[in-house]
Amino acid sequence: MVTVGLTHFLIISTLLFSMGIYAIITRKNAVMVLMGVELVLNSANINFIAFSRFGNFGFNGQLIALFVIVLAAAEAAIALAIVLNIYKNLSTVNVDEVDNLKE
């Protein structure tokens, strides 16, 4: 049994990223697409912190992970406000039905 190293963490973040992309592509509901985006951001954070620990980068990776978390919070707030407005105007949040710009 190999001991846990950098590759194990990278594998976990790769699989998490793939599942996030899968959610973004396949789900119709806009809130589910947002959950996929959160999964992708989490996998990026795992990568930042793993390289910060196993590489020669000091604590900069952890700090950038903190910045990513803050930006994710801002993004979630804005995106949910937009989704609420779409629901108010079009009575649906399915991303394939919101195609008013396509004439």
Partner 1 sequence: MNIYDLIFYLFGALTLISAFFVVTNKNIVHSAFYLLFTFFGVAGIYVLLGADFVAIVQLIVYVGGILILLLFGVMLTNKITNVEIKTGTINIFSATIGVGLFSGALLAAVIYAPWKVTTVQEPVPTTGILGSLLMNEYVLVFELLGIILLIALIGAASIARR
Site string for partner 1, 42-81 (x = CB under 8 A): x--xx--xx-xxxxx--xx-xx-xxx-xxxxxxxxxx-xx
Is residue 90 involved in binding partner 1 (CB under 8 A)?
no
Which residue lies nearer to partner 1 by CB, 94 or 101?
Answer: 94
Cβ proximity of 37 and 67 under 8 Å: no
| CB 96, CB 28: distance < 8 Å | yes
Residues in the chain, overall count: 103
70 token code pair: 């803050």
Q: Rounded to the nearest whole angstrom, what is the least distance from the CB of residue 101 to partner 1 in the complex?
A: 18
Near partner 1 by CB under 8 A: residue from 25, 99, 101, 102 = 25
Q: Select 55 or 102, whichever has its Cβ closest to partner 1.
A: 55
Integer Cα distance of 80 and 71 in angstroms: 14
Task: Give the SS3 label for residue 5.
Answer: coil
Whose Cβ is closer to partner 1: residue 70's or residue 101's? Answer: 70
| Contact in structure between 40 and 77 (CB atoms under 8 Å) | no
Contacts to partner 1 from residues 28-47, by CB under 8 A: 28-32, 34-36, 38-39, 42, 45-46
